[in-house]
Amino acid sequence: MACEVHYIYKNIRYRLISVDGEHYIVDLGKSFWKILFPLAFWMLPHTAFKIQDRTMVKTFQMSDGEQTKMSPVNFFAVGIILIFANLLGPLMDYLNISTSRNANIAILLSIVLIIILHRYWFTKQNKNNLYRHINLTQCETRRVWVRPKSFMYGLKYMFTYLVLVAIGIIFILGFIELGNVMWLLGIILLLYCLFICSGLTIGEGETTLKFMNDHQSS
């Protein structure tokens, strides 16, 4: 059935879904494997928490004005990254570190662990911020499947995800073999991009969902 997905104000972990006059919150950050393999967001069901308080629904919704304010910041950040990459290009040979392959693997695993812990901390903060307004454990729940906005949206997302994964593998192998800091910076950037992509599977706008069953639980 058709539904409307909204971002939650200053909280990228959750989505607000409106369907048939009812409102639900879906948690996108609970499962680590769904974050690592974001296509699972469409393949596996989610727990939807029913929101009874309409005033709370309005509080959670992000206004168009807030989204507009965010856009220039995003473009500015992308521009800075591109300029920074161009400046560092000629310095590639100077950024090699004299370490063994095993040491490079250890460095890589340490960096990945730090990024995962940072992601966990960030999603934990999102949860705490939401629970200041509402305790989801006290809400009625339903199991839902959320579908892509369209076939083309799913196809483009899958293509982008696979490209990022392929580039990430190249960067990982490059850093292990060459020990160049630029490869490591690329890995860090791509990991954060993959984490961000996990939130784009259920983006704002109209889409479809399917309730696994008709009965509700509390």
Query: pLDDT for 50-89, tens place per residue?
Result: 988 777 777 776 544 444 444 444 445 445 555 555 555 5
Q: Is residue 43 included in any domain, yes or no?
A: yes
Low-confidence winner among 80-89, 105-114, 127-136, 169-178 (lowest mean pLDDT): 80-89
Asked, for residue 218, whether it belongs to a domain, the answer is no
- DSSP-based three-state secondary structure for 64: helix
Which residues lie closer than 8 Å to 117 by C-beta, 6 or more apart? none
Q: Which of 114, 171, 137, 148 is nearest to 38 (CA)?
A: 148
pLDDT band, very low/low/confident/very high, at 49 (cuts 50, 70, 90): very high
Inside any domain, residue 13: yes
pLDDT of residue 73: 44
C-alpha span between 57 and 89 (Å, rounded)? 48
The predicted-structure confidence for 148-183, as pLDDT tens digits, reads as follows: 888 888 888 888 888 888 888 988 998 888 877 778
Owning domain of residue 57: 2-211
The pTM of this model reads: 0.71
Residue 216 within a domain: no
Count how many domains the chain has.
Answer: 1
- Residue 28: HSE in the Cβ half-sphere, 13 Å Cα cutoff: 31
Distance CA 151, CA 142 (A): 25
Residue 177 located in a structural domain: yes
Specify if 114 maps to a domain: yes
